[in-house]
Amino acid sequence: MPGRDIAGLVAQMTLDEKAALTAGIDTWQTAPIERLGIPAVKLTDGPNGARGFTHGAASQSASPSLCIPSGTALGATWDPEVVRAAGAAVARQARDKRARILLAPTVNLVRHPLWGRNFEAFSEDPWLSGKLASGYITGAQSEGVAATVKHLVCNESEHERRTCSSEVDERTLRELYLLPFEIAVREANVLAIMTSYNRLNGRYLADRSDVIGTIVRDEWGFGGIIMTDWWAAASTVEAAQAGLDLEMPGPGRAFGPALAAAVRQGAVKEDRLDQKARRLLGLFDQLGAFDDPAGLPEQPEDRPGDRVIARHTATEAMVLLANNGLLPLDLSQLKRIALIGPLAEKPSVMGGGSASVLPHYVVSPLEALKDRIAEKVQLVYEKGCWLAESDAGAAADAARSREEKADAIEQAARVAGQADVSIVVVGTNPYWETEGRDRETMDLPGDQAELVEKVLEANPRTVVVVNTGAPVTLPFAGAAALLQCWFAGQELGNALAAVLFGDAEPGGRLPVSIPERLEHTPAFGNFPAESSSVRYGEGLLTGYRWYDARHLPVLFPFGHGLSYSTFELGLPRTSARRLPVGGRLEVEVDVTNTGPRPGTEVVQLYVSPSRNTTPRAHLRAPKQLKGFAKVRLQPGETATVRLELVERAFAYWDVADPEFARLLSRLARTDGDGQSTGLHRQKAGWYVDPGTYQLQLGRSSADIAHILEIEVAGSPDPLPPGAALG
């Protein structure tokens, strides 16, 4: 049972035994100390399933697992409770695999559309990412599994990821890229953190005492374990001093025997090693791992309840981008449906790399539609084109496209033209969206865009379903109905059928902006790495912040998503019109379903500084998401949404300028020559400037229904350590 005397246990350990704990013994297990009853603890990959291995690490043979929707799909739910249930389901699968530590969730930001691992992240927005990650973590850890929030930090590209340096200014780092990790630590009490492959401003994260020591442990109060990514770089002495606890996989290179040697040589104090041992053993004890029977085989279980969670999460994630009334489909008005596209028969339920699992099963749109319509309507399927699944497949598809292309597309168009409605499923797959490499283009691979064009010409009553994990070019955005289904997990087909025929609401909202073109995106020109450096040149203006600040149009804005019903947001109310120092402010708004069907609405609250708020030296985004709530309402039903704001919602990170006074003293004159009148604070920290701020409530970053103004007292002093995040 948890509650062992960990300090006493560490006191009984030899130096070599303590050091052995800090490095894995193989790909997936920590080192056991058998004479003291310390078990080997198993870790397993996530986040859209618990991979496990039936025959050990050497064979890399994955056992079946639940496959929930991937990260961007979870982000599209805008619902921490839905994500919490999904995280708990994955953790149950981890326990089936005899694992106690789950390598998930991923909270890096969707900075650029071509990052190969976008599908694994939640959002372009750090607040949404952090809040949804908190749901995932809470769910996973409720099942006795430690969640591992990753990858600390600024791991938003795959190109040369083990050597490149993410060049990021301190303010941007604090306000955007560290924020989801901070929320995960301070609000969800995450038990483990994984450092990233990349360097940050020239240095590897595992060695950064200023990040994992000062910020994560001291400022945020993190008491869990910090581990490397698999085979990530770490140095023995620097990483030990910084606060790293575990090097994976084993055998150790920087830790383990090398750390024991460093202690013996006096380069690392033994009490540093003792701290690591206490943290690791304390975690194992907290999880109950000391009482786990040793040597039990994996027993993957396909639970009916987890199937329900996977399906519900998928429907809650699907985003109805456009609809001219075609959806939901009415079977009583249809005689023939054409289902078209390579992904209709073999959908993409996940991306490639460490997030991939072997699903218990996969339901395709073709199978699900056959089951849903039974004998009521004739269903005709045409592939239309091919989608490569490997390098060899890409070469074969290129040759095939030159030879079966016109015929296949024309046949699909003929079938569409003879149907009452056509459904085209297009997208990418784990070959095109994967860990290890970035995409080369936003365009759909192969001949899919041409396929959609020809089908739309043949039948305007066409639903286009986009089965991708990240934004793609949408030249057919004017289709009668456009549905983003993401990598929706093993229940993709059933969830899609439920949404198409109105059995379920398309409950998702975009967690990312979909640009009109790649050249408009914030990081264009600063992605990927060049000369071992990837420059975060857009700074604070990532995602919708960029499009707002630059007055650039987007195809579909952040937060956008349509419902099968209609909603009205009433006039918002605030608990006060002034936020005092240390105070809280509650915002209420009544939401009414004014349509004929049950449906969902997501209320989004953005904070915007007005001109008299901030000194000109401090750039602020036009608005930033600081609150959201998803409601489900019956026709005519009204619910009151309550959102709370604290001072941190109005704060920015000031890096301070202690050198300013010294510089002024060296000048011959300082008056009237353009010398800055902005703030030059002596102490870095979170600051709130006094002034008038706008609270913008709406349905997306571009659809604002109401604007309120409030006064914020602010202070010349930084927010106190541990001030509420909100």
3-state helix, strand and coil shares in percent for the chain, rounded to the nearest 5 = 30, 20, 50
Residue 358: alpha-carbon gap to chain centroid? 21
Instruction: Quickly count: other Cβ atoms within 10 Å of residue 537's Cβ.
Output: 15
Is residue 210 flagged as an active site residue?
no
Contact between residue 75 and residue 129 where contact means Cβ atoms under 8 Å apart: yes
Burial code of 360-388, b = ≥16 C-beta within 10 A, e = fewer? bebbbbbbbbbebbeeebebebbbbbbbb
Contact between residue 319 and residue 511 where contact means Cβ atoms under 8 Å apart: no
**Whole-number CA gyration radius for the chain:** 26
Which tokens go with 617?
Answer: 């030296």
For residue 715, the SS3 value is coil
Dist CA 466 CA 507 (whole Å)? 16
Question: Residue 348 to residues 110, 119, 408, 451: CA-CA distances in angstroms?
Answer: 20, 11, 21, 18
Dist CA 344 CA 327 (whole Å)? 18
Question: Residue 523 to residues 156, 170, 538, 544, 598: CA-CA distances in angstroms?
Answer: 11, 18, 6, 12, 39
The one catalytic residue among 79, 96, 207, 229: 229
Dist CA 105 CA 107 (whole Å)? 6
Task: Identify whether 249 is preceded by a cis peptide bond (ω within 30 of 0).
Answer: yes
Instruction: Quickly count: other Cβ atoms within 10 Å of residue 663's Cβ.
Output: 11
CB within 8 A of 8, min separation 6: which ones?
none
Question: Residue 52 to residues 64, 96, 100, 350: CA-CA distances in angstroms?
Answer: 8, 9, 11, 16
Q: Which residues are catalytic?
A: 229
